[in-house]
Structure 1
Amino acid sequence: MNTKNALKLFVALNRTCSTLANADQENIRHYGLSRSAFSVLELLYHKGPQTVQDIGKKVLLTSGSMTYVVNKLVEKGFVHRNICESDRRVTYVGLTSSGTDFMKGIFPEHEQHIAKMFSALSDEQMVMLTETLQQISTSIK
């Protein structure tokens, strides 16, 4: 393996990730949400109620950050907490009807924004790039 090529790829991926994250953050900010809050809402919108621990793992938040984000979403009326009947140590978080309506209203626009960010690639290129990035991720773990 050519280490110079690996370094160039590393720098290019980092710059691209930063550019994508900044563009995504700008788009999400105009909905009045942080990236973390949007990630939680998006997960719940697509997967239904989740335990607090599972949400933290899936959106890569620490338990302290998770509590803060969920509290803010509860205050906005977008999510609710339910304590598990069979194990009172477990708390589920789910979308309220207001949260579901909010996501139904903004998600199509968000999808269009994401599609626009990748508009320079063909569908085949996106599939190939996704597979390559998954291969890299798997090899690092």
Structure 2
Amino acid sequence: MATEDIKQSLKLFIVLSRAHKAISETTSQFFQQNGVNPTEFAVLELLYHKGRQPLQQIGSKILLASGSITYVVDKLEKRGYLSRVSCPNDRRVTYAEITQAGTQFMDEIFPRHEKHLHELMNVMTSEEKDTAIELLKKLGLSIKDLSY
């Protein structure tokens, strides 16, 4: 491998990391200003768009360790944004379901979140966004296939 190729890969990693950090920090700040943390928002967003979900599957869908899900669900349940619903056919399964209060909260915050993300990403043209999506998918999928 050429030294320049290695340096370029390192530079790409640094640029991706800094871009991710900038986006994460500004979206986290947006969530905090609206009374939730990023994980709480991710759980609410999943339930808001996909409906009731088994508690055991939420972690993998939002990329969070399963131990943390119980804590987040407890917090959101205390605030009245979601409720636990037992599965009638299988006592081992409990669902998380967004409540009316949770839906009202998301009806208000989600369009603002979308607009905020659009403002962050709008430095790129539509074509540049398509290219970035394509290239980042390629990168992510290729890494998933590697085994160390």
What corresponds to 2:25 in structure 1? 22
Q: Secondary structure at the match of 1:22?
A: helix
User: Structure 2-normalised TM-score?
Assistant: 0.92
Map 1:23-102; keep pairs closer than 5 Å.
Answer: 23-102=26-105
What corresponds to 2:6 in structure 1? 3
4+ residue runs over 4 A deviation = none
What corresponds to 2:123 in structure 1? 120
Q: Distance in 2 between matches of 1:53 and 1:13?
A: 31
- Alignment pair present for 1:106 and 2:127: no
Q: Secondary structure at the match of 1:89?
A: coil
Deviation at 1:56, TM superposition (A): 0.6
What corresponds to 1:133 in structure 2? 136
Q: Distance in 2 between matches of 1:98 and 1:33?
A: 14
Deviation at 1:10, TM superposition (A): 0.5
Structure 2: 5+ residue stretches without partners: none
Q: Distance in 1 between matches of 2:95 and 2:82?
A: 10
User: Structure 1-normalised TM-score?
Assistant: 0.97
* Percent identity (aligned): 43
Structure 1: 5+ residue stretches without partners: none
TM-align CA RMSD: 0.9
Corresponding residue pairs, total = 141
Deviation at 1:25, TM superposition (A): 0.2
Q: Distance in 2 between matches of 1:47 and 1:80?
A: 15
Deviation at 1:89, TM superposition (A): 0.7
